[in-house]
Structure 1
Amino acid sequence: MIFVLLSVLCSVLVSVLLKLARRFRLDVGQAIAWNYLVASVLTALLLQPAPASLREPGVPWLALVALGILLPTIFLALAAAVRHAGIVRSDAAQRLSLLISLLAAFVLFGEQLSAFKLGGIALGLLALSCMVWRSGHAPTAEGAAGWLYPLLVFAGFGVIDILFKRVAQAGVPLGTSLQAMFALALLVAFAMQLWRRVHRSTRFTARSAVAGLLLGLANFGNILFYLRGHRALPQHPALVFASMNIGVVALGAVVGLVLFRERLSRLNLAGVALAVVAIGVLARG
């Protein structure tokens, strides 16, 4: 379980770094681009990818390219969600994206629907509704961002998970597939930053590069420790899955409320609690 705990810490650390970006005047887009350089290098060093396998027939290049585009863009959406909606709701929305991948498992991959999974889906949708609810009258731009970006995170990470499943089905080794995804994401992320440099005169800064190094270490650590957790407990995948998702929601809530004094309504807090319950029910099913 130590690997799962480390993965939870790294996942929440990503959100904390994104939350601190504005305070330290960091360029989030640049940090995300450098993050994928760090992730690519660490993947090459630690997971020993075999690039030759990408030349074999049946490689799902469409899914890999889609992941290369989605990973940096959804990362930007996560950064915006953390900024506008806070760590608590952003982490919970990211973890509840499993509802989309679970629905895809029934519709696209032929998995059987159980009562526990049906109940978990219903609770998860209710939790998401509670978390993105904003009290008040017609929303301001900030208010709209407070529910729009968490919904983008929810949908985006759900689609990414489905694409991950598609790549896994094709039999591409994990290290190789991750290396391909990170390399493509690196190209897309830096292409976006070069466009900003040309059209908006945005300058690359050493401060944002250092932030990208830290972000890349945390992002890769999240993936590495999560995979090692599954390897350490091969007979208990549901335990690893539930511990990871519930741990991130719970620790994210504590960090958001204690360190950043995030303001949540009672309905928002109820949504976070329902998210924990929903994830547990889905793992049980």
Structure 2
Amino acid sequence: MVVLLIAILFNVAIFAIFRVMPRLRAVTLHAIVVNYWVCVVTGGIFSASNATWSQVSFRAPWAPWALVLAVIFITTFLLMANTTQRLSMTVASVASKMSLAIPVLFSLLVLGVQAKEYDVWNYLGIVLAFPAIVLSSWAKSSGERVPATSRWKGLALPIGLFLMSGLLDATVNYVNLNFISEEFSPVFTVILYMCAGTLGIGVLLVRRELPSRRSFLAGIILGVPNYFSIYIVFRALSTFNNDGALLFPLLNLGIILGSAVAGTLIFREKQNKIKIIGLGLAMLAIFLLSYQELLGY
């Protein structure tokens, strides 16, 4: 349970770092690019003794998928950062963690993989994902009437984050199932970071931009918890006897709740009644998706 709490803290820290980047006067894209190279260095150190490094070949079947995932990585992280900075930590955490509904549907409908028999309550959990995001993102005006179009435009970021996070999880699920062994997984993670970092450098070169010292520092601060947020999850899986069906719902619930608390207490993010209902729906949706595992059925 201690390892689970540490994993939650590292994930909440990522949202908090995105939240303070504007105060640090760091350029978000620049910091994200630096962050990936910090992950490469950190991951390389921790996986240096992994024998599967000998399997690395860019002619391997997984190589094109590494490039695809790199694009999704950067896009998702940018959406996460912008959602956190423009809306709140709560909205960003709900949108990104509720996306678990997408890989569930992908596994069922595309991969044909069904880890359990899904009942009406599980499917209700999937259905609740969208209203949870809408309500948690709902901006209540103080006395002024806000046009409906403005309200819905404000949902573009969280909905985009929801879809991209789900696409990321579904793609990782597909690649992991078809191309990646358990032993090769840590090495493949480092390769993904390397591809994302290389792609990021390419974008900066095209735009003729160079990270400032502030952006470089922000990238280092972001990269360490970003890498360990994944590394600790692997450790937590061992603690939970590799029962991801139990671990990930608890992890996502903890991240959403932790982000809401941190956003409210540290950054003074306002939570109106509609947003609180959305937050409650998100937690209910995760519970319904995984209630069999959580209750030990």
Q: TM-score, normalised by structure 2?
A: 0.88
Aligned match for 1:187, one of 190, 195, 198: 198
Cα gap change, 1:57/1:186 in structure 2, threshold over 3 Å: closer, same or farther?
A: closer
Verify the 8 A CA contact 1:33 1:212 in the aligned structure 2.
yes
Say whether 1:214 aligns with 2:221.
Answer: yes
Verify the 8 A CA contact 2:36 2:197 in the aligned structure 1.
yes
For 1:187, give the aligned amino acid: T
Cα gap change, 1:211/1:56 in structure 2, threshold over 3 Å: closer, same or farther?
A: closer
Say whether 1:114 aligns with 2:122.
Answer: no
- Find the counterpart in structure 2 of residue 269 from structure 1: 276
TM-superposed deviation, 1:54 = 3.3
Verify the 8 A CA contact 2:90 2:136 in the aligned structure 1.
no
1:81-120 aligned at under 5 Å gives the runs 81-110=83-112, 111=114, 112-120=117-125
TM-superposed deviation, 1:108 = 1.0
Hey, what's the Cα distance between the residues in 2 that align with 1:254 and 1:230?
25
Verify the 8 A CA contact 1:32 1:212 in the aligned structure 2.
yes
TM-superposed deviation, 1:58 = 5.9
For 1:83, give the aligned amino acid: Q
Cα gap change, 1:253/1:115 in structure 2, threshold over 3 Å: closer, same or farther?
A: same
Verify the 8 A CA contact 2:133 2:158 in the aligned structure 1.
no
Hey, what's the Cα distance between the residues in 1 that align with 2:153 and 2:221?
26
- Find the counterpart in structure 1 of residue 295 from structure 2: none
Verify the 8 A CA contact 1:16 1:87 in the aligned structure 2.
yes
- Find the counterpart in structure 2 of residue 282 from structure 1: 289
Aligned match for 1:129, one of 134, 154, 159: 134
TM-superposed deviation, 1:138 = 2.4
TM-superposed deviation, 1:140 = 8.1
- Find the counterpart in structure 1 of residue 155 from structure 2: 147
Hey, what's the Cα distance between the residues in 2 that align with 1:60 and 1:278?
33
Hey, what's the Cα distance between the residues in 1 that align with 2:269 and 2:53?
44
TM-superposed deviation, 1:139 = 6.2
Gaps of 5+ in 2: 293-297
Q: Say which is worse superposed, 228-237 or 209-218, in terms of deviation.
A: 228-237
Q: Secondary structure at the match of 1:122?
A: helix
Q: Secondary structure at the match of 1:229?
A: helix
Aligned match for 1:259, one of 262, 266, 291: 266
TM-superposed deviation, 1:51 = 3.4
1:149-188 aligned at under 5 Å gives the runs 149-169=157-177, 170-172=179-181, 173-188=184-199
Hey, what's the Cα distance between the residues in 1 that align with 2:219 and 2:28?
8
Q: TM-score, normalised by structure 1?
A: 0.91
TM-superposed deviation, 1:203 = 4.1
Q: Deviations over 1:61-119 (max 9, x none)?
A: 33221111111121111111011111011011110010111111111122253233212
How many pairs are equivalent? 280
Gaps of 5+ in 1: none
For 1:128, give the aligned amino acid: I
For 1:120, give the aligned amino acid: G
Q: Secondary structure at the match of 2:61?
A: coil
TM-superposed deviation, 1:283 = 1.8
